[in-house]
Amino acid sequence: MYGAPAYLLGVALLAPLPLGFLAAMIYMLLNVDMNNQVEAEKWAREHDPTLTAIVAGVEIGLGLIIVIIAACLAEPLRRAGRTSRVRDEYDDYEDERPRRRRPREDYDDDRPRRRDDLDDRAR
């Protein structure tokens, strides 16, 4: 996924935490008289598991919805150029594409083509 949808989903993934707190505050405001501070604190202590469940439920629910939307909008990865094929068995592999090889008579000398630590020494 690229461009604007990716940015919008990124912003949407930031939303569950504030929305969970907002839902818990609305629930508290509807059930408690905020003018009486002692009663509000007592109610909050008694209903702490309920408030926690509301926040957790909103966060998990929105998170799942956003991830499902992202999975539906996702596109398969594009392959870059040629890739090597996975070969299940190496011992009986036959390549259907012939490879161009240099004829052996093009070489001027018969020295080995491998370089090692001793190649740089004076001769």
Domain coordinates of the chain in residue numbers? 4-73
- Global pTM? 0.56
SS3 letters across the chain: CCCHHHHHHHHHHHCHHHHHHHHHHHHHHHHCCCCCHHHHHHHHHHCHHHHHHHHHHHHHHHHHHHHHHHHHHCCCCCCCCCCCCCCCCCCCCCCCCCCCCCCHHHCCCCCCCCCCHHHHCCC
**Tens digit of pLDDT for each residue in 40-83?**
899 999 999 999 999 999 999 999 999 999 889 888 877 665 55
